[in-house]
Amino acid sequence: MTIHPSKRRMVGRFVWHYIEMVIAMSLGMMLLGPLWSAVLPGVDRVDVGTLTMAADMTIGMAAWMLVRRHSLPAIAEMSLAMAGPFIVLLVPYWFGVLPGHLVTEIGHVLMFVFMALAMLRRRHEYTHHQHRIRLRIPRKWIGRGAVVLVALLVPGAVSAVNTVGKFGAQYKARSDAVAAVQPVSKGHDAAKPTVAFLVNGSGTNVADLLGPYEVLAGTGRVNAYVVSPGSRLVPLTGGLDLVPDLTFDELARLLGERRDTLDAVVIPALNKTAPAELGSITAWLRQQSAAGAITVSVCNGARTLAASGLLDGRPATSHWWRLPGLRADFGDVRWVSGQRYVDDGNMITTAGVLSGIDGALRIIERLIDVDTAREAARKVHWRHYSPGVAARIPESSFEAKDVAVVSLTSSYQPGPSTIGVRLIEGTGELELASAFITYTEQSMIGRTVAVGDGAVRSRHGLTFVPRSADADGLDRLLVPGVDAARRQAAGTGPSAATGGLEPEYLHAGEEFAFDPVLRDIARTYDVPTARWAAKTLEYPVMDVKLAGSAWPWAPTIVLVVLVLLGAGVAIATGMVVRRIRARSRAAGGAPGPADVVR
């Protein structure tokens, strides 16, 4: 069947209008995104991010439709088609029924469908030429602009895919079913202080949790339990799955049977807690505080603590990156910066990530004594302990170099970016944390995969479940732990068990667990990325020798190649279009003005 040329042109105009909409909404996000970041700095709520993203896309699309001289009803319908799905999907999210990541995924699918339906409803507007752009721009500048646009869209698309993938993988729940794994049974001594470490079902920061845990459990003078609202595997940063020791109810039962009380609660940064679970957590925190427990937040765990209302009217601190958002969301809290922790009686809040170690040492000072705290700092090789007083730390902020380094590494790092981490029995908790968080959340180099033959126990009795039994498909295989290195627990060379990779033992000597990891990042990737990771860990590295490339040249080269590729595609496409038009003129005569798609 032969399609009439005029119908082909109408279909072409319709499709081209749709492509224009997609380009316009993408430009809206690119141009308006930085404005939202300035107005709402540090806000990481799913609903706020979704609404601002929908607004960016809708504004960009509506502005272009005005330029195209579309009718106001058509613009209103298209705006509703773009923003409506996200608004509707947020309702089940607020009720805890729909996970945050599905709001954006399902919302985008529905948006593209409804955009097409809105265009079909008013197809006359999108297939005829009463909406021609009446700007007199020389044809050569239009062509050059198209080349620049496509040249930027290619690396932009790659950046979006890589960045979203890396962020999405950090706390992604495992997709396979796992047989129930029981945690190690811990003997409870009512003569010792009892400290509970809070985790949630959607994910917990691995360093915020495991750093303070090792410091406290390593003293041998504390009952340390990881507790959660429900009994299930908890994903930690980088895909390390933890089996909590107890649920809230089980902890209450244990303390009741032993006629004991909870002395302290440690709150690490919790990933996007569902509203229903957050309500359960905040009620539990208020209950423990009323019963006399010291409440300690680490890093962005301050957000959970502030949500409980327990910080209202009190001084508190958090990670430098999170403080602007916390100030905006919790104005009744007196937020301070530039110190490791704030001790305000029964509330202690710490700065970012590794500041949790000082928070744990402060707990030891208050529940036991300073000498025990000093020994605990020595055991984990923490050089920055300040007995009895919170040390001053730099008041950090984003700098131009930070933005460039993070953008290049998260978007265009060519690898090795899929990193296996072999779980070995008896590995220290800080050693595990250093491997899983530094290559992922703190540097955005890539994703980590927990590899092992079955459930393993850490040095102080936590239970972890690997996600892969083999190392196939990995770029590197890292083995954390000084003991593992001494025993060469994963072998000494490539084998079938290592997927043909050379096992790399991260911790060869007695030093703070994050030092060799930062040196590895500097050596394998580049020094600026290692320094950025240390900055976000709030870890001073003046005395850590970082040697390697002075700039992330590999991702920079990838960016340049993608820009050139995009420009080449645009130029080649233009040549093909011109050739097709030339053949069309030769076959049927020059088209009239009404046949030109503008």
| CA distance between the termini of the chain | 28
Residue type, 10: M
d(CA 73, CA 372): 71
- CA–CA separation, 39 vs 35, rounded Å? 6
**In sequence order, which ranges of 368-459 are alpha helices (DSSP H)?**
370-379, 400-412, 429-438
Three-class DSSP category at 36: helix
DSSP output for 314-349: SEE---TTTHHHHHHH-TTSEE--SBSEEEETTEEE
DSSP secondary structure code for residue 2 in this structure: P
């190649």: which residue's tokens? 561
Q: Say how far apart CA 341 and CA 338 lie, in whole Å.
A: 9
Cα distance between residue 246 and residue 215, in whole Å: 20
The alpha carbons of the chain give a radius of gyration, in whole angstroms, of 28
- Rounded CA separation 561/555 (Å): 10
| Residue reference for tokens 């790659």 | 158
d(CA 535, CA 551): 16
Sign of CA dihedral 502, 508, 512, 518: negative
DSSP codes of every residue in 168-237:
HHTTPPPSS-----PPPP----TTS-EEEEE--TT-B-HHHHHHHHHHHHTTSSSEEEEEESSSS-EEET
Pull the structure tokens for residue 594.
């009404």
Q: Which helix (H) or strand (E) holds 422?
A: strand 418-422
Known catalytic residue at 299? yes
Helix (H, G, I), strand (E, B) or coil at 478: strand
Rounded Cα gap, residues 277 and 99, in angstroms? 12
Q: Which of 204, 394, 214 has the alpha carbon at shortest distance from 303?
A: 204
Looking at residue 240, what DSSP letter applies?
E
Do 436 and 209 form a contact (C-beta atoms < 8 A)?
no
Alpha-carbon gap, residue 500 to 494, rounded angstroms: 5
> Contact at 8 Å (CB) between 25 and 142?
no
Tokens, residue 521:
């990042």
**CA distance linking residue 177 with residue 168, whole number of Å:** 20
Amino acid at the residue 322: R
Q: Residue 577 contacts by C-beta under 8 Å, 6 or more apart in sequence?
A: none
The answer to whether the CB of 218 falls within 8 A of the CB of 428 is: no
Torsion, CA 88, CA 89, CA 95, CA 101, rounded to 10: -160
> Active-site residue among 25, 265, 298, 299?
299
Inter-axis angle of helices 139-169 and 553-588, nearest 10: 140
Distances from the Cα of 128 to the Cαs of 76, 91, 556, in angstroms? Answer: 19, 39, 44
Catalogue the active-site residues. 299
